[in-house]
Structure 1
Amino acid sequence: MDEYIIGIDIGSSKVRAAAGKMDKYGKVQIIGITSAKCNGVKKGIVVDIDNTSEAVRECITALERMVDIKIKEAYISLPGGISELLWNKGVVAVSSEDREIRENDVKRVLKASKIVTIPSDKEIIGVIPEQYIIDGYDKIKDPIGMSGLRLEVDSQIILAQTTVVNNLFKSVIKAEVKVLGVVFQPLAISQAVLKDDEIQRGVAVIDMGAECTNIYVYEGGNLTNIETAALGGSIITNDISVCLKIPFLEAENLKIKYASVGEDDANYNTKIEVDADYNNKIQVDYYTLKQIVEARVEELLYIIDEKLRSSEYYEKVSGIVIVGGGLGLIKGIEDFSSNIIKKPVRVGTPGTVGSSNPLYACIAGIVKDVSYAAKGSNFSGKTEKLQENEYKGYTKGKDKKEVKSENKNGIVLKIKEFFTDFF
C-alpha cells in the first residue's frame, strides 16, 4: 500500500478514485482509475452523507479489485467552487544567529500570513505562498538556506465554509477511508493539464462538471481568480431527454457517444437507435441531436464568456483550457468555443500515463502532486509547503496524531489524522 498514492475526487455526479505510483524513471503512472455514480452531492456540496459515503465505498472497492491492494487511506480534492481566496502578507524576523533562513522561519512567516479576519462560519483551509521577500528583495520561491534579517511572504489564504468541509470529510471517513491530506482542486488540475509557460502568461481553465462550472484563472505563475456558474453538463443531457422524449440515462449515453458542435464530416441524415421507455427502441435524427446540443452549449459558453469579461482578468488570459465531462468530451468543442470566447481553446488532457482523458484532470493531478511530494521533488515551483490545519470535529478524544508530510513544493494541505471510529 505504501508504494501507491490513492486519490479521491468527489463530484456532483460521480466519485472517482485513482491509484498511482512513480516508475523507475521518476514518471508518475496511474495504475487504476474507477468511478461510481453519486447522488449525494449538489453543485459541489455534500447534501447526503450516506449516499456520498456509499459511492466512495463502491469506488474504492472497485479500485481495490483493480490494483489488488487493500485501501485504507487516501488524499481527497477540495473543490474550488466552495472555496474563496484572500491575499495577505506575513512578516517575521529571521531567528537564527547566523541569519540563515531555516524551515522554521518559513513556517512562522506562513503562520503570520494567516492572521486575518474571516467570517465566523468559515475557516482557513490552507496557505499558498506566491512569493517570498528577503530584506526587500522579492520574487523568491524557496528562501530556505538563504541569508537575511527580515522574511516576508505574499500569500493566498484559502477559505471554505466549515460545515461544507466537515460534511465532505465525514463522507469519506464513513466509508472507512482515512484522509491523509487535501489537494486544492484548481492547483491539482493545473499540475495535470497546464504548462508552466501557460501559467506564467495567463490562462483560464473551464472545469465543467454535471451541475456547476468553475473558471480558474492563472497568471504570473499563480492561481489568481475563481469564478463559479451554477450550470453544468447535466443541463445539456436534460435538454436531449426532454426534446427527444427519452430517459435521462439514455440521453447521457447519447451525449457522450454522439454529441458534437460546429462543422463536422458526419452525415446529417444519420439515424441513431436508442432505447426509450419499456425497452422500446426509437430512431433519433443526428441533425436534431446536434441542434439541441449546440443551442445549449452556445448558451453555456456565452455565460462563461460574460463571467470572464466582467472580471479584470479577461485581457490577461492568453488561452482557454477545457476539462471535465460537461464540455471536454463534445466533438468540435475547441473551435466552437474559440469562436465565442475569442481566445485560443484546447481540451486539457492529463499527460500522466493511464489517465489521458479530460474527465481525469483533477484525480490525475492529485496523484501526480502527492507522488512528487513524497519524492521531495521541486517539480513546479508554483507553490510551497502549506501550513498544517486542524479540522475541528473530525476526531473524538484527545489523542490526535499529526500526519507527517515531506511535501516541499506540492499542494497537499497538511491536516490532522482522522480515526475511522469517528462514527
Structure 2
Amino acid sequence: MNEYIIGIDIGSSKICAAAGKIDKHGRMQIMGITSAICNGVKKGIVVDIDSTSESVKQCIDGLERMVDIKITDAYISLPGGISELVWNKGVVAVASEDREIKDNDVKRVIKASKIITIPSDKEIIGVIPQQYIIDGYDKIKDPIGMSGLRLEVDAQIILAQTTVVNNLFKSIEKAGINVSGIVFQPLALSEVVLKKEEVERGVVLVDVGAESINIYSFEGGNLVSISTMSLGGNTISNDIAVCLKLPFSEAEKLKIKYGSVGRSSVNNDIKIEVNADYNNKIHVDQDILKQVIEARVEELLCIIKGELKSNEHYDKISGIVFVGGGFALIKGIEDFSKDILQKPVRVGSPEYIGAASPLYAAAVGAVKDAADSMKDKSLRIKSEKETEGIQREWTKERNKHEEKKENSSGFVSKLKDFFTDFF
C-alpha cells in the first residue's frame, strides 16, 4: 500500500503523468503530476514511436524528480475515441456445492462474455460489467457472497485496433516503462470529475483535446455511448495564428493565458505584447483575440450540440461536463456554452491538491482507477480471511458441542445398561 501508482495519459499535444499513493486511511493522494509536449500522436493514434517515446521519457523524468523515486511501471489511459463498445452476455453455473458465488465464478462469467466474433484487425482490451443476474434477478452490482444456481452478466466489451494498441505499448516500453495495465479513459475520467448522482441521472462528458473531441454519454450509472469528432483546440490556436499572423506556438500561449469568451470579467481594451517571427515584438488587441476565439468556439459548440442531438439519450441529459485542454481552460466557457448547448455546463477538475485542472483529469483518473482496484482486491482478501476465521471458530464450537453431546449420550447409555443389568 505504500508504493506509488503511476498513471500516464498520452494526448495529441501533451503527455501527462501522475503519481499517487494510498494513505493509511485508505484514501488516495496525488503526490506529483507533470506534463511534456508530444508531437508523435495524432487524434489519439501514435504516428511516430520514437518521438512519442522521447516525450514519455521527458515526462517520467520530470515526475521522478518530483517524487524522488525510480519509475519502472505505469498504468496507461486508453482514449475512448480509438475504442468500440459491443454488448454481450455471459452465463455460467455456480461452481461451489453450497451455491455461494465466489470470485472465481465472477471471473468465469466475465470470460464467458468475451466469447464473441471480432474482426481480425481488432482485439478485446477490456470488459465493463453493466449488471449481474442471479437466477433471473437482475440489477445486481456485486454478486460475490450471494447465493444462486445460475450467474449471468450483461457486459460491454471494449474493442480496439491491434496495431493502434501495439504502437502505444511500444512507445511506452521504449521509454523504459512496463505497462502494468490499461485504464479505459471514459471510466477513469468519470471517477475523478463526475458525481455519482450525475452518472445515475444522465450526463455527458466532453473531452476536448488538441485534435479530437470525444463525447461520452452516461446513464443509469453506466457508459452508454461513445462518439468522436476529428476537431479540437488546435483549430482555435490555428485561427489565432492565421488572423494575427503569429507562430502557432505563440498563438497557443495566447489562447491559454488570455483566451476568453462571452461576458467574461476580462478587460478587453488592453494590448498584449507577443513575440512574432524573427524576434519582432507586436501588440495584439485583446478584443480582437476574443472575437477570433469566440467565432471558432461557437462553431465547435454547435457541432457538439448537433452530435448530442443525434444521440438517442439527448433528452435524458441533465448536464454537460468539459475536460481536457482544448477549451476547458478558456475563461467564461461555462456560461458561453450553456447559452449554445441549452444544458447546464461545468468544467470538470479532479479534486486533488496540485492536480485540480481539467488538463490532468485522465492521468489522475488512471491512478484512481488502479488504486481502487488494488484496494478492492485487498479488502476482498481481508474479508475472505475474516470469513475463514469465523468459519473456523464456528466449526470449533460445533465440534465442542458434538463432543459434549457424545459424552452426555455415552453417560446416559452406560446408566441405561447398568439398570438393565441390575434388573
- Supply the distance in 2 between the matched residues of 1:171 and 1:54 (Cα, whole angstroms): 8
- Supply the distance in 2 between the matched residues of 1:119 and 1:376 (Cα, whole angstroms): 34
**Over alpha carbons, which structure has the higher Rg?**
2
- Supply the distance in 1 between the matched residues of 2:339 and 2:377 (Cα, whole angstroms): 40
Deviations 1:243-287 (A, max 9, x none): 000111111110001111101233332111111111111110011
Question: 1:354, CA displacement in angstroms?
Answer: 2.4
Any residues of structure 2 matched to 1:379-394 within 5 Å, and which?
none
Aligned: 1:100 with 2:125? no
- Supply the distance in 2 between the matched residues of 1:289 and 1:101 (Cα, whole angstroms): 61
| AA of the residue aligned to 2:15 | V
Any residues of structure 2 matched to 1:14-413 within 5 Å, and which?
14-376=14-376
Contact 1:204–1:218 (CA<8 Å) still a contact in 2? Answer: yes
- Supply the distance in 2 between the matched residues of 1:109 and 1:359 (Cα, whole angstroms): 37
TM-score, length-scaled by structure 1: 0.88
- Supply the distance in 2 between the matched residues of 1:290 and 1:168 (Cα, whole angstroms): 37
| AA of the residue aligned to 2:254 | L
- Supply the distance in 1 between the matched residues of 2:59 and 2:39 (Cα, whole angstroms): 14
Question: 1:114, CA displacement in angstroms?
Answer: 0.8
Percent of aligned pairs with the same amino acid: 70
Contact 2:328–2:347 (CA<8 Å) still a contact in 1? Answer: yes
**Structure 1 segments (4+ residues) deviating >6 Å:** none
Contact 1:192–1:352 (CA<8 Å) still a contact in 2? Answer: no
Contact 2:2–2:22 (CA<8 Å) still a contact in 1? Answer: no
Contact 1:90–1:111 (CA<8 Å) still a contact in 2? Answer: yes
- Supply the distance in 1 between the matched residues of 2:322 and 2:89 (Cα, whole angstroms): 32
Aligned partner of 2:7 in structure 1 is: 7
- Supply the distance in 1 between the matched residues of 2:301 and 2:71 (Cα, whole angstroms): 40
Deviations 1:154-205 (A, max 9, x none): 0000000010000000000011100100100000000010000000000001
- Supply the distance in 2 between the matched residues of 1:102 and 1:27 (Cα, whole angstroms): 27
TM-score, length-scaled by structure 2: 0.88
- The structure in which a higher percent of residues are helix is 2
Question: 1:375, CA displacement in angstroms?
Answer: 2.0
Deviations 1:2-56 (A, max 9, x none): 6111111100011111111122333221111111111100000000000000101
- Gap runs ≥5 in structure 1: 380-384, 386-404, 407-423
| AA of the residue aligned to 2:99 | R
Contact 1:261–1:332 (CA<8 Å) still a contact in 2? Answer: yes
- Supply the distance in 1 between the matched residues of 2:227 and 2:131 (Cα, whole angstroms): 23
| AA of the residue aligned to 1:70 | K
**How many equivalent residue pairs?**
382
Deviations 1:275-315 (A, max 9, x none): 11111111100110000000000000011111110111111
Contact 1:205–1:320 (CA<8 Å) still a contact in 2? Answer: yes
Contact 1:18–1:34 (CA<8 Å) still a contact in 2? Answer: yes
Q: Report the RMSD for the aligned CA atoms in angstroms.
A: 1.7
Contact 1:81–1:227 (CA<8 Å) still a contact in 2? Answer: yes
- Supply the distance in 1 between the matched residues of 2:277 and 2:2 (Cα, whole angstroms): 48
- Supply the distance in 2 between the matched residues of 1:347 and 1:369 (Cα, whole angstroms): 21
